[in-house]
Structures are given as C-alpha cells and as structure tokens.
Amino acid sequence: MIKSARALTFSSYAAMLFLGIADALVGSAARQIGLSAPQIGQMIATQNVGFGIGVMVSGNFADTHPKPRILMVGSIILALACLAFYRVPIFWVNCLVMFFVGLGIGSYEGVTDTMLLDLHPDQAASYININHFWVGVGKTGLAVYVMLLALNWRASVTQSGVAVLVLAGVFALSYLPVRGGVRSNFGERVRVLTRDWTVAVFFVLAVLAVGIEACSIGIMTTFLVDLRGFSASQAQMGLIVYVAAIGLGRLIVGLLVRSGRVAQWTVALFGAGVPLFLLLSFANLGPLTWLVIFAAGLGLSACLPLVLSLGGTRFPEMAGTVLGALKVGIPIGGILLPFLLSLVSSAAGLPVAMAILPAAFLIGLVLLAVNTATLFGPLPARSQVSPER
C-alpha cells in the first residue's frame, strides 16, 4: 500500500493536471469535430452539471470514507468518459459522456484539496495553491499538445484516458485513513453549515473569484483588440501572459503563504485586485499595458485557492462537505458573471461592462472587511461535529 505523504501529494497534483486537461477537452476538440457554438455551450453546461454533482457527492463522502478510494472511482469514471468521447458521432450521446467527464473531474475538485488538508494541516494553504496551479498547466498543456500532434485531438484524449486509468491504479493502492477516525452525521454537518454565516460569505467569495477569472479570460483578446488597439496576434499573446501570470501567482503564493497568514493574503489579493483591474479596464497605458496584464493575473491568481483554504481550515472535521459546498460556486461563478458581462456589454458597451471586474473585487473586499472578526476569529464551538454513534 502507498502511505507516503509525498506520493499522495503528487497523486493529487496529477489528478488536478488531468482535471485541467479534461476541462479543456471540448474547447480543444470542438473545431475538428465540427461543433457549433450552441452545441459547445450545451456540452459545457452538461459537463458543469456533472461537475457540480461530483463535487457535492465526493465532498460529502470525503468526510466519512477513505479519500483515495473516492479518487479511484472518480478516475475510473473520467478515464472511461475520455476514452468514449466521440467514439459514436451522436451529439446527445456525447453530451452524456461530458456529464460523466464532469462527474470525474468533480470528484478530483471535491476531494484533492481535502486530502491535502489531511496530509499537511499546518501548510494547507500552500499545498492547495500549488494544487490549483496544476489545473492551469493541464489546460494549457492540452492545447499545446494538440498543436504538436497536428490537431489530432483523438490521440491526446485517448492517451489522457489511459494515463487516468493508471492514476486510478495508484489511488487503488493508496491508503489514507479518515481524519481522526471521525464519521460524522451528514444531517448534523448540514445543520452546522446552515447556521454559520461564514460559509455563505466564503461561497460568495468563491463565486466572485471564479467569475472574475472566467470573464477576464473570456473577454481578454476582444478587449485588447477593440479597446487597446492590439493586433490579433498581440491580443493572443496578451491572453497567454495573463493566464501564465495566474498560474505563476498560484505557485508563488503557494510557496510563500504560511499557516496563520492565509486571511491576510486573501485580503491583500482582493484589495490589490481593485486598483489593478481598474487600471486594466480604464487606463490605456500603451506599452505598460503588458505589465498591467501580468500584474492583474498575479492579483487574481490565488484568490480562489485561499478562500478554499480558509473554508477547509475553519471546519476541519467536515472539510470535505464544506469544500464541496464552496466548490459548487465554481460552475455558478463561471456562468453568472460572464452572463452579467454579456448583458451589460450589449446594453451599454464593452467599456462600461469592464467595470464588473473591479466591482467584483470590491464586493469581495467589503465582505472580508465587514466580517473580519467572524471570519478570521477562533472556530466557534457550534462548528464542532460530534462523532456518529
């Protein structure tokens, strides 16, 4: 059996790498398959439904069952879904396949951070940030790999499916006991969550962080061409710089943040996001725009991992359930803020719509400031969950 904390940590990183690869599957293969824009939207929506269910279910089980076993099941589901993708050229069948892709990557999202909390309780924020760094590597890596294979997406997806099956074998041979041997009652955990206002605050912060990232990445090239006079190739490079800064920022914060300083880092990044995205959105600084793009990516980078770290460490006895609930905000944020940006852009134009980004950071900063004593104070006694008898 594999019991090494280092081996389990690297298996978590591998899982998040494949999460990134699978999450980018539709976008990387859509043109070669011949999917229309509405079909792409339907597939991504179906994947997000599976993702939300996977996160909630796996997060709940993570508090009461060995986490490697849950990740093994999720890996098998994801591997089979990757191997099945567009083997049959029927759209609704492949929508169903994407639902199972969502279930598989949802299990990774719902369990790996919780497993790192168990493995590294004193450095959880550091490891969770590095964990999320690998998602970006996976997304970027698939796009580059498909190009290297001369757009042969089938080969890359098949190889990914086989690799995930190998990862399932690793998880099958891994052992990590349930934290403290506690098996808590699900109903009691839900009652704790519904009574504690901090869970709702963390959820909103997660929605904002994900929404800002989805909006900014989705609109970046259009913004740079239409409002900053970039050429198409320059705008694409600007997007690469921005995404690279997000990944680099997560890695840097992961290496620097220490236990007891997570709250300060969270406030600092949400606070930095306000002026940085105001500059990016409304100040045409010419060549300095490149620097602002990079700085904005750094400012956004670790917001979500830090919020997840705060939630998990505040409720250690039911971290899986808490993180599962918070991570439902990932598909919600990825839909809600881009939809709002689309509405405002259609009604008032893109320059006005860009105000949504610094405004979202400001809302997050206000939430953190108003709830400082509650969010960052000692864990309340009611958050403790008694063992199931």
What tens digit of pLDDT does each residue of 109-163 get?
999 999 998 899 888 888 998 999 898 888 777 666 665 655 567 787 888 899 9
What residue ranges of the chain have pLDDT lower than 70?
27-28, 31, 37, 142-152, 179-194, 259, 374-389
Contact 238, 294 (CB under 8 A): no
Contact 29, 153 (CB under 8 A): yes
Residue 383 is encoded by which pair of tokens? 């958050």
Residue 160 is encoded by which pair of tokens? 């990914």
Residue 186 is encoded by which pair of tokens? 């699900």
Query: In the prediction, which pLDDT does 387 show?
Result: 41
Residues 6+ apart with CB under 8 A from 165: 75, 76, 79
Max CA separation in the chain (angstroms)? 66
| Torsion sign across C-alpha atoms 5, 11, 15, 16 | positive
Query: In the prediction, which pLDDT does 315 show?
Result: 78
Residue 202 is encoded by which pair of tokens? 């963390």
Query: In the prediction, which pLDDT does 328 show?
Result: 83
Query: In the prediction, which pLDDT does 298 show?
Result: 95
Q: Give all domains of the chain, ordered by start, each with its CATH number.
A: 5-183 (1.20.1250.20), 189-376 (1.20.1250.20)
